[in-house]
Amino acid sequence: MTVTLAHNKVRLALHHLRDGADGGGVRPLLHVHGLGERSPDEVPEVLASWPGQVWALDLTGHGDSSIPAGGGYSCEVLMGDADSAVAHLGPVTVYGRGLGGYVALLIAGARPELVRGAVIDDGPGLTGGGVEPGTPFVPQQPLEVTGTPDPYALLELSVDVRPPDYATTFARLAATLSGLDVAVAVAARFRPPWLTAVANEPGVHGMAVAEALALFAASPDAPAAAG
């Protein structure tokens, strides 16, 4: 089953990959793909141990989501994509690959009552554009858009700048406002500067995906969200 969500003028595809094995006692897990990827058709092996429902979101310009005219992508807008899914699903645990891992961090910091644990894993777009802008490239002709992934997304999200002190702001918001002992799990083996900084923050632990899923499945919902 796929649900279509509206995020401003973009239509997002949110895929239901699997029901929960536990009869609905654990909040859903939200899978966020990497740059240029799309949601998997089935629950990936790495997430098989999650006891609850598993959903996967196609980000703007990816998979079955719509393509905005003329680009303008930022990770903050993709965080808004994730927020649209959170608005539909209620409290979730988020697992993100690459770019999706950075988005998972952002939404965990921005919606600490609703994101109960974020897992950052390896994947395309994990590095972003580095810690400060490089030499700007401006295409003087329109890029040919034949479908997803939108080439403007690939162009712009490969150079989005991720200063470590910006990323750690979100880690701190997640850690302090979620009330969780561990709010962010870093499963990625490759760690660009933003992720190295995040991994050193209180409330952020390095651990394997299965370990993180077990931890977050057992973590409480926020009192307000649970009520």
Partner 1 sequence: MLDPSVKIPVVLEPLEDAEVVTYLGAQAPSRQRSVVSHGVRLAVHEWGDEAAPPLLLAHGGFDFGRTFDVFAPLLAAGGWRVAVWDHRGHGDSDHAALYSWETDVRDAVAVMDSLGGGAIPVLGHSKGGGVMVQLAASLPHRVRQLVNIDGLPSRRNFPDVSDHQRTKMLAGEAAAWLDHRRNAIHRKRKPGTIDELAARRGRMNPRLRHEWLRYLVTVGARRDPDGWRWKIDPVIRPGGFGPWRPEWAMNRVPGLSIPFLALLGVQPEPMGWGTRPDDVTALLPAGGRLEVFPDIGHFLHIEQPQKVAEIVLDFLGDPR
Per CB under 8 A, which region of 26-34, 48-56, 115-123, 134-142 contacts partner 1?
Answer: 134-142
Query: Tokens representing 12?
Result: 């997002």
Site for partner 1 in 187-226 (CB under 8 A): none
Q: Does 142 bind partner 1 (CB under 8 A)?
A: yes
Contact 212, 118 (CB under 8 A): no
Q: Cis ω on the peptide bond leading into residue 139 (within 30° of 0)?
A: no
CA distance 138 to 53: 42
Amino acid (1-letter code) at residue 113: E
Site for partner 1 in 66-85 (CB under 8 A): 68-74, 76-77, 79-80, 83-84
Question: 136 or 223, CB closer to partner 1?
Answer: 136
3-state secondary structure of 88: helix
CA distance 82 to 60: 10
Question: 20 or 129, CB closer to partner 1?
Answer: 129
Q: Which residues bind partner 1 (CB under 8 A)?
A: 6-10, 60, 68-74, 76-77, 79-80, 83-84, 87, 106, 109-111, 132-133, 135-145, 152, 156, 161-163, 166, 169-170, 173, 176-177
